[in-house]
């Protein structure tokens, strides 16, 4: 099994989606900011009791993914892929059409290659971008952009703190504090590999490795060390 490419695990920092290919999925219940597309390579995957060859999960919906065989998972950033987020939000967790599974299965022999995994994600992005994006208040957009960089400066707005939190949750799809934690997590994960886990945790603003690991399990279903061991990109 190939080692995890650290630039792919942090892909949501700069790209519309992150991607992973696993030999067997049995993730803990967790909730991500991205829209998840889970596809079984040789058989069905199961997500929150929904079983099918390809399943979509809307942003910030807690779920656990199980698969008896290899599976590919794509996590689309709602801000960078708003039409896919809208597509998921309109229908909820559900089985996708056969075409999605066919796109992935056509490349099953080479999904462990990062370029192939990425190319399939691009094709899925075009196939699933059918929803109507939800408009985002420009003040919320500025705050969200600032939070994408854990080292960035706070953005002043004319809104009260309570009103900003309300608008942020409405437009971004998750509370502002949890969104900031999600961005810190991705920032730390992007550094796993070149540096040790504790150094990566501190880079993301976590007090220690234990806090980093708990957050990773809650938001991605695995501890950072498990991600490194299980994922192939």
Taking only the tens place, the pLDDT of each residue in 4-21 is 333 345 454 457 888 877
Q: What pLDDT does 46 receive? A: 95
* Cα gap 203→136, rounded to integer Å: 29
Say whether both 95 and 198 belong to one domain: no
* Cα gap 233→49, rounded to integer Å: 27
Which tokens sit at 21?
Answer: 């290919």
Say whether both 17 and 109 belong to one domain: yes
- Summary mean pLDDT of the chain: 85
In the DSSP assignment, the letter for residue 49 is: T
- pLDDT band of residue 222 (cuts 50, 70, 90) is confident
Contact in structure between 71 and 39 (CB atoms under 8 Å): yes
Last-in-domain residue among 128, 146, 178 = 128
In the DSSP assignment, the letter for residue 68 is: S
Say whether both 77 and 176 belong to one domain: no
Which tokens sit at 23?
Answer: 């030999």
Residue 60: which region, alpha, beta or left (left: phi > 0; alpha: psi -120 to 50)?
left
30-43 pLDDT, tens digit each: 988 889 999 998 89
What residue numbers bound the domain in which 73 lies? Answer: 6-128
Last-in-domain residue among 77, 110, 128 = 128
Say whether both 199 and 88 belong to one domain: no
Does 70 reside within a domain?
yes
Contact in structure between 7 and 190 (CB atoms under 8 Å): yes
**Closest to 77 in 3D by CA, of 27, 6, 148, 15:** 15
Higher pLDDT, 228 or 221: 221
Q: Edge-to-edge strands of the sheet including 45-47? A: 25-26, 65-67, 45-47, 50-52
- pLDDT band of residue 196 (cuts 50, 70, 90) is confident
Does 233 reside within a domain?
no
Say whether both 110 and 148 belong to one domain: no
Say whether both 154 and 190 belong to one domain: yes
Say whether both 73 and 178 belong to one domain: no
Q: State the distance between the two ends of the chain, measured CA to CA, in whole angstroms.
A: 10
| Number of separate domains in the chain | 2
pTM value surpassing 0.85: no
Length of the chain: 233
Say whether both 119 and 206 belong to one domain: no
Does 145 reside within a domain?
yes
């Amino acid at each position: 099994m190939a080692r995890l490419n650290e630039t792919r695990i942090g892909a949501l920092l700069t790209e519309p989606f992150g991607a992973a290919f696993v030999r067997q999925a049995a993730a803990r219940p967790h909730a991500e900011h991205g829209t998840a597309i889970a596809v079984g390579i040789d058989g069905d995957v199961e997500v929150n009791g929904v079983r099918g060859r390809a399943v979509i999960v809307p942003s910030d919906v807690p779920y656990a993914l199980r698969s008896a065989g290899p599976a590919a998972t794509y996590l689309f950033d709602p801000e960078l892929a708003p039409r896919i987020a809208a597509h998921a939000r309109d229908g909820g967790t559900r089985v996708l059409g056969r075409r999605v599974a066919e796109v992935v299965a056509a490349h099953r022999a080479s999904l462990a290659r990062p370029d192939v995994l990425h190319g399939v994600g691009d094709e899925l992005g075009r196939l699933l971008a059918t929803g109507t994006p939800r408009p985002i208040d420009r003040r919320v957009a500025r705050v969200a952009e600032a939070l994408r960089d854990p080292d960035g400066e706070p953005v002043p707005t004319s809104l009260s703190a309570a009103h900003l939190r309300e608008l942020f949750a409405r437009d971004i799809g998750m509370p502002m504090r949890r969104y900031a934690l999600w961005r810190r997590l991705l920032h730390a994960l992007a550094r796993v590999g070149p540096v040790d886990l504790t150094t990566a945790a501190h880079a993301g603003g976590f007090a220690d490795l234990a806090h980093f690991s708990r957050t990773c399990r809650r938001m991605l279903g695995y501890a950072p060390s498990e991600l490194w061991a299980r994922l192939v990109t």
